[in-house]
Amino acid sequence: MADMLIRGIDDDAKERIRVRAAQKGHSMEAEAREILERSVTGERPKYGLGTTIHQRFLAAGSPEFEVPPREGSPARAVDFGEMT
């Protein structure tokens, strides 16, 4: 394995890494290694943002509504009523 020395890390970032490492019960070096490895492996979330939002609203019970067709439908202004 290779070694790497990183200079000029922001004090705040270093502190956050220290706290995160302590919460997980391992060293700052191990935490920094994990952060670096995760950032370059191309690890992606299982679901996209839209799917995640949709799943959360489904759990709360989504209301039934009709979605108007997109093609040929003229754009219309939204009426938010009187704003106070």
Q: Residue ranges of the domains in the chain?
A: 11-60
Per-residue pLDDT reduced to its tens digit, 60-81: 776 676 766 677 767 777 888 7
CB of 52 closer than 8 Å to CB of 34 = no
Per-residue pLDDT reduced to its tens digit, 22-59: 999 999 999 999 999 888 887 677 788 888 888 888 87
Contacts of 62 (CB under 8 A, 6+ apart): none
Return the residue matching tokens 């492996």. Answer: 41
Cα angle for residues 9, 15, 17 (degrees, 5° grid): 80
Does residue 83 have a pLDDT over 70?
no
Question: Nearest CA to 9 among 34, 27, 32?
Answer: 32
Q: How many residues does this entry show for the chain?
A: 84
